[in-house]
Amino acid sequence: MSETDQIEDEENQVSEDDWAAAMGEQAAVEAAPAASAAVFEQFSGAGAEPATPQGFDMILDIPVGLSVELGRTKISIRNLLQLAHGSVVELDGLAGEPMDVLVNGTLIAQGEVVVVNEKFGIRLTDIVTPQERIRKLNR
């Protein structure tokens, strides 16, 4: 066997070894979905307590505007300018009707007015589910 033939045989051997290694890597990757699922579970916070998802506590201190709406009405500028101390503005909400609780302008609950230690408060009677909120966003 000449030296050239020997070099070509070595190159072919290396190529076959590389091919076998690549096939082995592919088999390992195909067998790894269970292992990759475990990695994704780790990132999704499957081991964390369900009430506080992983990374959720980063946003807990962000302030949002909460308001309670008694009712609404439309009024002309003429009537608005005539309002004075003691004027009464009629709202579309009825007495005893639940009031809307809004966070940043989005309805999240309804409730009734209560007085606690001479301060007004609201007792929540109905909370809008996250699915209902998402449905309203899609409209």
Gap between the Cα atoms of 114 and 101, Å rounded: 14
Looking at residue 86, its pLDDT comes to: 93
Higher pLDDT, 51 or 131: 131
The amino acid at 81: L
Q: What is the pTM of this model?
A: 0.50
Tokens standing for residue 23: 């096939």
Residue with tokens 């990757």: 29
- Please tell me the distance from the alpha carbon of residue 111 to that of residue 69, in angstroms, as a whole number: 10
Asked if the model's pLDDT at residue 32 lies above 80, the reply is no
- Name all domains of the chain by residue range, CATH numbers in brackets: 63-137 (2.30.330.10)
> Taking Cα atoms as reference points, which of 94, 48, 45 lies closest to residue 71?
94
